[in-house]
């Protein structure tokens, strides 16, 4: 059978950004506490008319604009920031994107691990019928109480992944390492909009899951450590990934080289913790920014508190550079509107999901917005940006086709 893996990947984030330098001034702490201590520089903050649906749809739209909808019969939406206890967030995205009705749509949850669970389900679906493609969406808004140690590790973002046979970017290898343990390191009860965290336990649980997943991968005949050329991790904050990877190198008797992980930190240092999307945003950074990936094997560690870990490997396709989205994420990050600390805290205090009837102000410049709640039901709509990005995508596709034709002459 032909290889199966990641055909395309796209990233979206919130309209606003809070620079951690500003938070440091507000709290009277040394900015190095954030830049060095946890390895973060800023975090994205959604506008009042943004949520996991708008960000997930914005990321997915980039994929659909490039590849169309043919063969997409499944949409898997992973999140731990669910907006409804019954209706999947992906159903809203399905409507916003105008996908065919003959599509199954499901929401998945297991803390930050859900995106990887969705990927594995997608691989199985395509293995059963290689003519099908699966749209995987992972989107979250990380919210913690203000004036807590976790406050600077908030964030918001989404990633959309198209899984297919004969993928353009990465072929996912069949053997994976798994680990599950019942740990109370992080959780969010139904009656809370912010999570509860045991920070020290969370770090040790992450490390235990990483080592456990590695041992399982090795026991099942997975690739040797020295055959893995690049690593990307789930990143609640980038320093956690460094700590865990140092422990793994000690465990396997390898040298620890921090530079091997830095490229994968590039976007996450700016968007903050995006839960289910975090690992895959790190992968997007490596694919965008590393020019020496062809044929290289990437190790990808996914962690979800509570806890579940999985270690996946994949081999980058020889012509992956032709299919990258170089500059797209950086442009979105640079376009965010900077918030003062009082402005950010006012947005934070306004809360997240609500069932009360409300009309949301028009703020976001993204293709889709959350317009409000009417009769207890959430409503979304396309913006002027949706039409503009579709036209731009069509022009880009035409240019790429013409360039390919010229190259072949």
In the block, residue with structure tokens 């599509």: 103
Residue 73 token pair: 């019969």
**Cβ neighbours of residue 353 under 8 Å, at least 6 residues apart?**
51, 82, 83, 84, 193
- Termini Cα distance of the chain: 32
- Known catalytic membership, residue 50: no
Distance CA(234)–CA(203), nearest Å, equals 12
**Cβ neighbours of residue 294 under 8 Å, at least 6 residues apart?**
316, 317, 318, 319, 320, 321
Q: Name the CA dihedral angle for 390, 391, 397, 398, rounded to a multiple of 10 degrees.
A: 160
Q: Name the CA dihedral angle for 363, 364, 367, 373, rounded to a multiple of 10 degrees.
A: -60
Smallest Cα–Cα separation from 96: which of 141, 140, 47, 51?
51
Exactly one of 7, 67, 112, 171 is catalytic; name it.
112
- Known catalytic membership, residue 16: no
Q: Is 123 helix (H, G, I), strand (E, B) or coil?
A: helix
Residues 153, 195: contact at Cβ < 8 Å? no
Distance CA(83)–CA(61), nearest Å, equals 20
Exactly one of 67, 94, 233, 234 is catalytic; name it.
234
- Known catalytic membership, residue 234: yes
Exactly one of 50, 80, 107, 171 is catalytic; name it.
80
The helix (run of H) or strand (run of E) holding residue 73 is: strand 72-78
Strands 230-233 and 297-304: parallel
Torsion angles phi and psi, residue 365, rounded to 5:
-100, 10
List b or e across 191-204, with b for residues whose CB sees 16 or more CB atoms inside 10 angstroms. Answer: eeebbebeeeebbe
Any alpha helices (H) in 220-369, and if so which ranges? 238-252, 259-262, 268-271, 278-289, 328-335, 341-349
Residues that are catalytic: 80, 112, 234
């Amino acid at each position: 059978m032909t290889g199966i893996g990641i055909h395309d990947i796209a990233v979206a984030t919130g309209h606003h950004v809070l620079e951690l330098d500003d938070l440091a001034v507000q709290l009277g702490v040394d900015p190095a506490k954030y830049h060095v201590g946890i390895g973060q520089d800023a975090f994205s903050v959604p506008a009042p008319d943004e949520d996991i649906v708008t960000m997930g749809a914005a990321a997915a739209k980039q994929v659909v604009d490039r590849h169309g909808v043919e063969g997409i019969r499944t949409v898997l939406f992973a999140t731990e920031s669910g907006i409804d206890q019954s209706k999947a967030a992906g159903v809203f995205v399905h409507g916003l994107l105008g996908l065919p009705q003959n599509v199954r749509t499901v929401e998945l949850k297991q803390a930050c691990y859900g995106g990887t669970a969705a990927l594995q389900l997608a691989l199985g679906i395509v293995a059963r019928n290689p003519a099908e493609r699966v749209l995987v969406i992972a989107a979250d808004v990380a919210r913690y109480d203000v004036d807590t140690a976790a406050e600077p590790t908030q964030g918001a973002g989404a990633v959309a992944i198209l899984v297919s046979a004969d993928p353009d970017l990465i072929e996912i290898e069949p053997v994976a390492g798994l680990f599950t343990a019942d740990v109370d390191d992080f959780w969010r009860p139904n009656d809370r909009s912010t999570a509860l965290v045991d920070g020290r336990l969370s770090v040790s649980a992450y490390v235990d899951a990483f080592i456990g997943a590695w041992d399982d991968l090795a026991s099942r005949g997975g690739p040797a450590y020295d055959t893995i050329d690049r690593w990307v991790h789930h990143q609640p904050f980038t320093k956690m990934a460094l700590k865990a990877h140092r422990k793994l190198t000690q465990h396997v008797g390898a040298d620890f080289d921090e530079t091997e992980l830095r490229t994968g930190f590039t976007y996450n240092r700016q968007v903050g913790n995006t839960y289910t999307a975090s690992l895959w945003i790190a992968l997007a950074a490596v694919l965008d920014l590393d020019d020496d990936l062809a044929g290289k094997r990437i190790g990808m560690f996914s962690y979800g508190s509570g806890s579940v870990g999985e270690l996946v490997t994949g081999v980058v396709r020889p012509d992956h550079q032709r299919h990258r989205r170089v500059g797209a994420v950086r442009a979105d990050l640079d376009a965010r509107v900077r918030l003062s600390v009082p402005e950010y805290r006012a947005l934070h205090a306004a809360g997240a999901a609500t069932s009360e009837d409300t009309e949301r102000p028009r703020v976001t410049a993204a293709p889709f917005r959350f317009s409000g709640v009417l009769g207890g039901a959430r409503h979304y709509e396309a913006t002027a940006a949706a039409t503009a990005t579709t036209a731009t995508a069509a022009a880009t596709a035409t240019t790429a086709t013409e360039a390919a034709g010229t190259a072949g002459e």
